[in-house]
Structures are given as structure tokens and as C-alpha cells.
């Protein structure tokens, strides 16, 4: 079986597990699961020393990470959130300006961002101290699976190429306990990056530190994917 097929098997198993015990709102399949306990996981994430020292945070736009995005705004951190599918020329929202008129919990939502938040180009962003990624499955070694679209890997590689993510950047996720496969192997490919910390509603898991990817691998990016992401098309060699 291919690595892609192996990955999908793991995703399906985790999605089924979450739905079987009613641990998610709505259908988990095909999504970053909107797990119960996301608020508690965000509070646990905010207790990390790396969070407390971080000035600039980049977060995924996934719904279960909304409490963590709100906490970043509450804690007066500069917060960027990816535009879904990186589909705009300026591929990240800057959420802090929304606080002038909205509470952090409202400003952190994707609907509010899409309606009112300014978008920014990669070259105008500040270096990232901490990243929050949405995941489907993770293990204690820091291996991770998203929902399979590949946008998280592109975001990270794009920001590495721009010099905004480095070895000093902390990469985290918030997930349900049932999404953690502990020491079970998760299929990985060379472009996949690993996590430094996994936060659940009940656990704080420090992962072994691993090297960051080297940035965008243009040879493996499909031409149609490059064309669909303006920030990639503008940087294509």
C-alpha cells in the first residue's frame, strides 16, 4: 500500500473512533475534528512557557483551534491565521485589528476574519514564535496527519522559505485525547514536519525535537496547486 493509502487508513480509524464515542461536533470525516474539550486544550496550551514568551503566533483556520486563537488575542499576541486554501494573493489574515470592534472569541472565528480582517503578504509578516496546527492524528514522537489536502505543509514551507519560521519556532497542536496514537507509527513523507508539543484537554506532551523541513520542494508541488495559490505562483523559480 502507498504512503498516501496508509495515511488515509489512519485518518479513517481516528475519525471513526471520535464519532463512535460522540467526541466531536458534527461529522469528523474529511475534516480537522471539532473535538469536545478544545477550550480546555487551549487553556493548557497557554500554560506552556513557550506560549507565554511568544509574541507572534500563526494559527490554522480550523474550528477546533478557535479557542487557542482567541487566547492568543486575549494575551495580546500578534496573531496571523491562514486564509483557507491560501487562495488569496495575501494569504494570511491579521486578526488583531478586529479587536477594535469585537471580543477575542468573535475575532478568532473564520467568518469574522473573512468578513473584516485585513490580509497580509508573507513579506510583511513578523517572524513567528509559535505555530498552532490543526491535526487529525498525532503520536508521541511528533508525527502528524492533517486531513490530506496538504495546505499545512505548504504554509510551513512557505514561511520557512521567507525566513519567518526557524528552529527557534515552537510548533504545537490542540487535539482530543483519542487523536493521540502515543507510540504508534504514523506514515510520513520527506516534506512532512513534526510537532514540538501536543496539547489535549488532559495532557501536555513534549515531543522529541526534530529538524525543520528545508522549505518548498518545487519538484513535488503539482502545477495546478502552484497555480491555485498566488503566493506560490509569485515565488515559483
- Coil, strand or helix at 113: helix
List the domain boundaries for the chain.
3-235
Looking at residue 5, its pLDDT comes to: 65
Looking at residue 204, its pLDDT comes to: 98
Looking at residue 211, its pLDDT comes to: 80
Domain 3-235 has CATH 3.40.50.10420: yes
Looking at residue 150, its pLDDT comes to: 82
Looking at residue 100, its pLDDT comes to: 97
Q: Which is nearest to 125 in space by CA: 153, 88, 94, 152?
A: 94
Which stretches of the chain drop beneath a pLDDT of 50?
1-2
Distance (Å) of CA 24 to CA 60, 106, 135, 175: 18, 21, 14, 11
Query: Given its phi and psi angles, is residue 175 left (phi above 0), alpha (psi -120 to 50 degrees) or beta?
Result: beta
Cell for 123? 513579506
Looking at residue 54, its pLDDT comes to: 98
Q: How far apart are the first and last CA of the chain?
A: 33
Q: Which is nearest to 138 in space by CA: 234, 83, 64, 222?
A: 64
Looking at residue 138, its pLDDT comes to: 98
Looking at residue 1, its pLDDT comes to: 37
Residues 46 and 71: beta-carbon distance below 8 Å: yes
**What percent of the chain has a predicted confidence (pLDDT) above 70?**
98
Model confidence pLDDT, tens digit, residues 141-196: 999 999 988 889 999 999 999 999 999 999 999 999 999 998 799 999 877 899 99
Residues 173 and 64: beta-carbon distance below 8 Å: no
Looking at residue 236, its pLDDT comes to: 87
Amino acid at each position: 500500500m502507498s504512503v498516501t493509502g496508509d495515511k488515509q487508513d489512519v485518518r479513517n480509524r481516528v475519525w471513526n473512533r471520535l464519532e463512535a464515542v460522540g467526541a466531536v461536533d458534527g461529522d469528523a470525516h474529511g475534516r480537522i475534528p471539532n473535538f469536545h474539550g478544545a477550550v480546555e486544550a487551549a487553556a493548557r496550551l497557554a500554560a506552556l512557557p513557550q506560549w507565554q514568551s511568544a509574541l507572534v503566533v500563526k494559527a490554522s483556520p480550523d474550528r477546533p483551534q478557535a479557542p487557542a486563537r482567541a487566547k492568543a488575542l486575549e494575551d495580546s499576541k500578534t496573531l496571523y491565521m491562514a486564509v483557507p486554501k491560501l487562495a488569496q494573493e495575501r494569504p494570511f489574515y491579521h486578526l488583531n485589528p478586529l479587536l477594535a470592534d469585537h471580543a477575542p472569541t468573535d475575532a478568532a472565528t473564520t467568518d469574522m476574519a473573512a468578513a473584516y480582517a485585513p490580509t497580509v503578504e508573507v513579506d510583511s509578516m513578523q517572524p513567528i514564535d509559535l505555530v498552532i496546527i490543526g491535526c487529525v492524528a498525532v503520536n508521541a514522537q511528533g508525527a502528524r496527519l492533517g486531513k490530506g489536502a496538504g495546505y499545512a505543509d505548504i504554509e510551513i514551507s512557505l514561511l520557512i522559505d521567507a525566513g519567518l519560521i526557524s528552529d527557534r519556532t515552537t510548533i504545537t497542536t490542540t487535539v482530543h485525547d483519542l487523536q493521540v496514537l502515543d507510540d504508534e507509527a504514523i506514515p510520513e513523507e520527506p516534506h512532512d514536519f513534526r510537532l514540538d508539543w501536543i496539547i489535549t484537554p488532559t495532557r501536555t506532551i513534549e515531543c522529541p525535537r526534530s529538524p525543520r523541513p528545508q522549505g518548498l520542494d518545487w519538484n513535488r508541488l503539482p502545477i495546478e496547486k502552484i497555480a491555485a495559490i498566488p503566493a506560490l505562483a509569485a515565488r515559483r523559480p
